[in-house]
Structure 1
Amino acid sequence: MAKKIGYFLSSEEFGPRELVEQARMAQDAGFEALWISDHFHPWNDAQGQSGFVWGTIGALAQAVDLPIGTAVTCPTIRIHPAIVAQAAATAAVLTDGKFTLGVGTGEALNEHILGGPWPTSKVRREMLEEAVQVMRELWKGENVNHRGTYYTVDNARIYTLPDKPVPVYVSGFGPASARLAGQIGDGYVGTQPDTELLGAFRENGGQGKVTQGGYKVCWGRDRDEAVKTAHERWANEQLPGELAQVLPQPAHFEQAQQLVTPDMVAEALVCGDDEEAHLRRFAEYSDAGYDEVYINQIGPDQRGFFDFYGQRILPQLKGMRSQ
C-alpha cells in the first residue's frame, strides 16, 4: 500500500490563484503531499494556462504545510540548471525542507521557445545527467566552476540554501530513462502503473529509493459530462509514441488529438463518481510498487472532487494502509 497519497496540481489547466486554493482544499480533504506540473505552454488551448511554477510554489509554501514536488521540471534547455538549482534551493527553504525537485528530459512543447534545436532522446538524457551534476555541486554552497559538454558555470555560488541538499527525483517514461533515474536520482517519477519501468529503476541503483506515481481522473455526478470534460481538456494524454516529446506547439497537439475519441478517453481514465472505480485505479498504482501516489482532478468541479475524496475515498485508502 502506498505510504503517501498526494494531489497533483495542473499548471496547464489552472492559474496560480486557483492552484493555491486547490492546495488548501487538498490539505483540508486529507491529502498528504502535492505535485505541481511545470510548463511554459499548455498542451492545448482548452487547458488555457501556464503560470511560472516557481512563483506558484512560493505562494503554496505560505498557504499550506504539505510537502511539494515538481512533476516535472526540465533543467536542461529552457532554463539553465544553475538557475533551477537556485530556484529549487529557495523553494526548499520556504517549505522547511519539504520540497522535492522532480526532473525530466522535457518536451519540445516547452523547450523550443528560445530557438535552439530539439536534441535526440539520447542527448537529452546526457544533458539531464550533467544538469543534475551541476545542481548538486551548487547545493554544496561553494564556488562552482564547471566546463562540461553542455553547460558552463563560471564562479557561481548559491547562498540561500536549505539545511540538506534538495532531493532530485527523475522521471522515466521509457526503459532508458528509468535506468538513468536509478543511476542518478534520489527517487523516481512515473505516470503509468508499469512494473517493468519500476523494475528497471530499482535494478539500476534505485533499490530503496522513493518512487512517485501520478494519474488523472475526472470526478462528476454525470459520467457522460465527465468524459466530455476529460476529452476536451486532456485528449492529448492518449496520443501514442513520442508525439508528446516532439510536437512543438499546442496547435499541433490539437490537430493530433482529433484522432482521440471520447470512448478512448473513457476507457483510459476514471470518469464519474463510481467509488469502486476510483479505488481500483489507486490500487493499480499502489500495487505496482509506488511509494507515493498523486491524483489530479480534471475540470472545474474541484470542490466536488475534494468533498468526494475527503469523505469517501481517502478514509478507505488510509484505512487499508493502516491494516
Structure 2
Amino acid sequence: MNGVPAVKLGYKASSEQFGPDELLGYGLMAERYGFDSVFLSDHLQPWRHDGGHAPAVLPMLGALGARTERIVIGTSVLTPTFRYHPAVVAQAFATLGSLFPGRVVLGLGSGEAMNEAPLGIAWPNGKERLARLREAVDLIRALWRDERVTFEGDYYRTVNATIYDRPEKEVPIWLAASGPAATRFAGRTGDGWITTSGKDAALYTDVLLPAVATGAAAAGRAPERLEKMIEVKVSFDPDRDRALAATRFWAALGLGADQKAGIEDPVELQRLADRLPLEDAARRFIVSTDPDEHVQQIKSYVDLGFNHLVFHSPGPDQAQFFELYGREILPRLRDSFSPHGRSSWV
C-alpha cells in the first residue's frame, strides 16, 4: 500500500468500567474475534463512583501481553507528566517492548484533572500541560536513544540516566489531541495521532485533520502515512432501547465542557451525569440496530482519513458486544476496508 497504513480494527478495554480479571478476559476475546489491537485507558479515578474501576495500566499491559500472542496493545492514553515521571514511562515501555516486540504502542496525552488533582497536584492550564507533554516526549526518546542522559528541562531533569534494557526497535509513540495546537504537535512529532469520535464533523474536517497535516508537513513527513487512530463510541443492538440504555454508564461523556469544568470527583461527575436525559447521555455514541447503517456511520470516519478504528462499546455485557460485532459488523468492515478480506496490522 505504498507505506500508507491499512485500516485496522481495535478494541477499547475500558478500565473505568471493568476490573482486572474482566479486562484480561475481554482482551483475549478481542484477539480471538480477530481485532488488531487492544487499547487500555489509564485512569486513577473513573467517570462514576458506583460500579467504577481503575486498575493500574502498566501491570495490566504486562499481563495482557503475556496472555495474548498476536494483538497489538497500548495505552489510550497515559499522561507522562504528573503521576509518572517521563523516565519511569520510558523504562516501563522499553521493558514492555522487549517482552512483546512489535506489539506495543505508547499512547500519550496531556491528561485530565480527575486523574491528577486528587493527588494534590495544582492542575495547570492547557498551555503548560502541552509544554510538559512536549518535554516528556523529548526525554522519553532521549532515554531510548542515548546511553547516559543528562536532561535539563523546564519541568523534568535527569542526571546520567540510562535505560539498560531496551527493545531493538523503539516503541511507537502516538499522541492524543483534540485541539489545534496539540494536534499539530502530534502530526509533527508523533508516530500516530489519537482522538475520539462523536464530536461535530466540522471539528475533524476544518480543524483537527488540517492541523495534523500541517504538523506533519512542517516536519517533512507525509500526513497520509501517519497512523490516525480514533476511538469510535458504538452501541449496537437489535433492540434500540437496549442500545440506548447501554450508554447510561458513560453519560458523563455527554456533559458539556462548562458542566464538568473543575470537577474531579467521580461522585459528583456521576451525580451530574445521572441527571442527563438518556438521549443526551448517548449523544457521543453511534447508537443503531441495523448493521448496514451502523457500518456506514463507521465508514464516515475512514472517509475522513482515519485508519485505525478502536471501538468502545459502553454496555456491561462485553461478551455480547463481541458476539454481535463478530457476526454482524466485523465481516462487513473487513469486506469494506481490506483488499484481502481481513484487516491486518502492517
| TM-score, L = length of structure 2 | 0.87
Query: What's the CA shift for 1:284?
Result: 2.2
Match of 2:110 in 1: 105
Query: What's the CA shift for 1:25?
Result: 1.1
RMSD: 1.9
Match of 1:20 in 2: 24
After TM superposition, the structure 1 = structure 2 runs for residues 41-52 of structure 1, keeping only pairs within 5 Å, are 41-52=45-56
Check conservation: 2:6, 2:338, Cα contact below 8 A. no
Q: Which moved more, 1:186-195 or 1:62-71?
A: 186-195
Cα distance between partner residues in 1 of 2:258 and 2:6:
29
Q: Do the aligned partners of residues 187 and 268 (structure 1) sit closer, same or farther apart at CA in structure 2, a change above 3 Å counting?
A: closer
Cα distance between partner residues in 2 of 1:6 and 1:62:
18
Match of 1:320 in 2: 336
Cα distance between partner residues in 2 of 1:249 and 1:169:
28
Match of 2:10 in 1: 6
Match of 2:343 in 1: none
Check conservation: 1:33, 1:66, Cα contact below 8 A. yes
Aligned AA (1:157): T
Query: What's the CA shift for 1:14?
Result: 0.7
After TM superposition, the structure 1 = structure 2 runs for residues 73-92 of structure 1, keeping only pairs within 5 Å, are 73-92=78-97
Q: Which moved more, 1:4-13 or 1:245-254?
A: 245-254
Check conservation: 1:33, 1:68, Cα contact below 8 A. yes
Cα offsets for 1:247-285 (capped at 9, x unmatched): 222123123324532012344323354213421231122
Where 2:145 maps in the other structure, the secondary structure is coil
Cα distance between partner residues in 2 of 1:62 and 1:84:
19
Match of 2:44 in 1: 40
Where 1:150 maps in the other structure, the secondary structure is coil
Q: Do the aligned partners of residues 243 and 2 (structure 1) sit closer, same or farther apart at CA in structure 2, a change above 3 Å counting?
A: farther
Structure 2 residue 214 is matched with structure 1 residue 203: yes
Cα distance between partner residues in 1 of 2:262 and 2:137:
23
Which runs of 5 or more structure 2 residues have no equivalent in the other structure?
340-346
Cα offsets for 1:171-205 (capped at 9, x unmatched): 11111211121222121001036233022111112
Match of 1:136 in 2: 141
Structure 2 residue 311 is matched with structure 1 residue 306: no
Check conservation: 1:93, 1:161, Cα contact below 8 A. yes
After TM superposition, the structure 1 = structure 2 runs for residues 129-208 of structure 1, keeping only pairs within 5 Å, are 129-192=134-197, 194-195=204-205, 196-205=207-216, 207=223, 208=225
After TM superposition, the structure 1 = structure 2 runs for residues 112-127 of structure 1, keeping only pairs within 5 Å, are 112-127=117-132
The count of aligned residue pairs is 322
Cα distance between partner residues in 2 of 1:204 and 1:316:
34
Q: Do the aligned partners of residues 244 and 90 (structure 1) sit closer, same or farther apart at CA in structure 2, a change above 3 Å counting?
A: farther
Check conservation: 1:220, 1:301, Cα contact below 8 A. no
Which runs of 5 or more structure 1 residues have no equivalent in the other structure?
none
Structure 2 residue 31 is matched with structure 1 residue 31: no
Q: Which moved more, 1:144-153 or 1:257-266?
A: 257-266
Cα offsets for 1:129-162 (capped at 9, x unmatched): 0000110011125111112100121221111111
